[in-house]
Structure 1
Amino acid sequence: MTAPVATARIALWEGGTGVGVSSVPVPRLKPGEVLVEVRLATVCGCVRDAVRERRLGSLPSVLGHEGVGTVVGVGRGAEALGTDGVSLAPGMRVVWGRDVGCGTCGACTAGQGAACPDSRELGHQPMTDAWVLSGSLASHLVLPRGAGVAVVPAGVPDAVASPSGCALTVAAAAIDRAGPLAGRRVVVLGAGLIGLAALAMAIEAGAASTTVVEPRGKRRRRALRFGADAALDCDARVPACDVIIDAAGGADTFARVLDSLAAGGTAVVAGTRSQVPDATVDLERLSRDGISLLGLGRPHGRHLAQAVAFIASTHALRPWADIVSAPRGLDGVVEAIAHSGGTIARVAIAPRG
């Protein structure tokens, strides 16, 4: 179908620290594509790090991959389905995953888009005629076939729903990777949004105890408000545990806390960024004590659905909305990137505000 809107405003990154706001035509939708009007976007650490470290690919790029929006158009010729199998239609409020499979390879057609060899990442693509609206820091976003999309239940605030497609999806994948947590002692490294989400999910999964390790005092206090039994500085002695979830705790912290992992325990590396140096691991101990050291890989579409279901059922129990700023307009993207990752876990952008 022809797109029901003519132009979109985008936050366009052209290199360095410069981000400008531009207007571009909204393209005609291909079969199975979904056009979303972005209600609210949140600036995650991926955006901040990419701009500061100039880590995106070819330029220019439309930034951002976290957001919540309303479906305003669906390309005719192929049904567009959400991760839960619901047929997407105009008027639905949705969130989307960070990774987009090609939609046609064997992995994608088998429902294993996380294994797609040609996977792309929202907010990290060069702006081309083939995919102009490829980031969430824009008034409109086109989700190609192969994108993970989940319908947001009524009653979930936009500010709570927006991070579901990135931080909460990563946390859901980490919890899935760690295995059953009921009765187990869990340590979470890092109290950014991934760490807070993993903490909350571990509590809801019946963990016997939860400890957060975080260098910043304000984040430690926030972890306690989210229900952690203890929140420790990185130099503190960490009690014995059965599961470690590393949500960007840092290599030195990870190596030290690994010594507290009990025999038969599991450590999942979920949030470490590429610039973090290697950690030293005692391979003899891993073998002797039967310790599992697991990387995360790309989250699956089911993890997005799990993240949305989790936030829908538990958002009233914890102060999720308090860690997202009041929204600013698209013209405030540069300031938002500069302030992301501070005491407020997410800076919010209302692209049409």
Structure 2
Amino acid sequence: MKAARWHDQRDVRIEDVPECAPKPGEVKLKVHYCGICGTDLHEYLEGPMFIAKEPHPLTGYGAPVIIGHEFAGEIIALGEGVTGWSVGDRVALEGYHICHECYYCQRHEYNRCERLAFHGFSAPGGLAETVCAPAYQLYPLDPRVSWEAAPLVEPTAVAVRAVNHVKPLLGERALVVGAGPIGLAALQVLRAAGINRIAVVEPARKRREMALEFGATIALDPRRDDVEREIRNFTNQLGADIAFECGGNDAAYQTAVRNTRKGARICLVSQTNTPFRLFVNEIGFNERVLIGTVAYCGEFAPAIQLIAEGKVRAGDMITARISLDHLVDVGYRELMENTDQHVKIIASPWM
């Protein structure tokens, strides 16, 4: 079958590899589309970050790695012992392989599993024609969610967890720094949670326009706008009550800190190799709270529901559809060189 495999930094190849056969407790899926994530670009340009160079202790899987973790699929085969699922079922995958034994798994905090493995990094991913996965990862995909929108379930689940961590209160003003797919999903999840006054800071014009379309009150360009003055005016000179750093760089973090009020909650959503400068007094003296978050732990169900109900407009976030053959020369290149024109690019092995 055709698959995209990460071999090393700046070395992703479209190759013919053997198809998997589902082991006991697994299903085999036909992948229709898989999204290109910002983390995929980090792995391509700077990796390995999460990719297992050596065989992972839980999965035994290491480079070269079939990449891709934003995907859904149609069940085409069942492994021994799988019940509750049928061939033809449409499913989304919460892409963790977990040990089920450690302190965190026992507490159902499995996104903190001590031997956590993840599709596209330390287990085969979805940038392929088919993939095998444990049945415990599966969520039924609402029929109102199209195959094209289905890859957006994963980033929406990230946003749901981030928003839930912050515990927004009605009437609060929010700041979202970085309006890529995660930031735009966070904006829409905030709106669904009843937060209606939201400022977005994003340099890419297309993403600012989309933020306004999705309900942002203001969308600022940090290269041209006086962000601090505009946020002060937006927040009665106080600063935002809650903020989400979704940019993955120090400038985004500093923007989040400097434009929040005393006592604000700031969620660090991005995953990056880039170090941030932390000035302790900006946090401690002002009693700001920094909140870390990673991926999801049960948020797939509400993410699917939000997309199905149109509260997260997943399909509208897609700016290009490409064949798997053009993952690097079109998909990666466009996201690196023409960010101003793109939000989410999805790839299909069947185009």
- How far, CA to CA, are the matches of 1:254 and 1:16 in structure 2? 26
In the TM superposition, residue 193 of structure 1 has moved relative to its aligned partner by 0.5
User: Residue 57 of structure 1: SS of its match in structure 2?
Assistant: coil
1:313 is aligned with what amino acid?
A: E
For the residue of structure 1 that corresponds to 2:322, the secondary structure is: coil
Would the alpha carbon gap of residues 54 and 256 (structure 1) be closer, same or farther in structure 2, given more than 3 Å must change? closer
Matched with 2:148 is 159
Aligned equivalent of 1:128: none
2:7 is matched with: 14
Q: Secondary structure in 2 aligned to 1:158?
A: coil
| Residue 23 to residue 103, structure 1, CA distance change in 2 (3 Å) | farther
- Answering whether residue 94 of structure 2 is matched by residue 97 of structure 1, we say yes
Equivalent runs, 1:42-81 vs 2, <5 Å = 42-55=35-48, 56-58=51-53, 59-79=63-83
Q: Contact between 2:320 and 2:342, CA under 8 Å: does it hold in 1?
A: no
For 1:352, the equivalent position in structure 2 comes to: 350
Aligned counterpart in structure 1 of residue 131 of structure 2, from 141, 144, 156 = 141
Structure 1: 5+ residue runs without aligned partners?
A: 1-7, 80-86, 126-130
The reply on whether 1:251 has 2:250 as its aligned counterpart is yes
- 1:191 corresponds to 2:189: no
Displacement after TM superposition at 1:161 (Å): 1.7
Once the two structures are superposed, the pairs formed by residues 117-266 of structure 1 within 5 Å of their partners are 117-125=114-122, 134-144=124-134, 148-165=137-154, 167-234=155-222, 235-237=226-228, 238-239=231-232, 240-248=239-247, 250-266=249-265
Q: 1:19 to 1:260 in 2, by over 3 A?
A: closer
Please list every run of 5 or more consecutive structure 2 residues that lacks an aligned counterpart in the other structure: 54-62, 233-238
Specify the alignment match of 2:32 in structure 1.
Answer: 39
**Which stretch of the first structure deviates more once superposed, 248-257 or 111-120?**
248-257
Name the structure 1 match of 2:20. Answer: 27
CA distance in 2, matches of 1:324, 1:66: 13
Bigger mean CA offset, 207-216 vs 12-21:
12-21
Quote how far apart the aligned CAs of 1:106 are. 5.4
In 2, distance between residues paired with 1:10 and 1:88?
25
Residue 299 of structure 2 corresponds to 303
**Alignment pair present for 1:331 and 2:335:** no
Q: TM-score, normalised by structure 1?
A: 0.84
In 1, Cα distance between the equivalents of 2:258 and 2:251? 12
Amino acid paired to 1:350: S
Report the aligned-residue RMSD.
2.3
Do 1:34 and 1:75's aligned partners in 2 also have CA atoms closer than 8 Å?
yes
The answer to whether residue 325 in structure 2 is matched with residue 321 in structure 1 is no
> Which secondary structure does the structure 1 equivalent of 2:23 belong to?
coil
CA deviations 1:267-311 (Å, max 9, x no partner) are 110114122x3223343x5445432111113421x1122211111
Change (3 A) 1:249 1:221: farther
Report if aligned partners of 2:26, 2:132 keep a CA contact under 8 Å in 1: yes
Task: Say if 1:94 and 1:150, in contact at 8 Å, map to a contact too.
Answer: yes
Structure 2 counterpart of 1:138, which letter? Answer: A
Q: TM-score, normalised by structure 2?
A: 0.85
Q: Deviation at 1:78?
A: 4.9
Identity percentage of aligned residues:
27
Question: Distance in 2 between the 1:114 and 1:253 partners?
Answer: 25
Alpha-carbon distance in structure 2 between the residues aligned to 1:46 and 1:78: 32
Cα distance in 1 for residues equivalent to 2:280 and 2:102: 39
Measure how far apart 1:168 and its partner are. Answer: 1.2
**How many aligned residue pairs are there?**
325
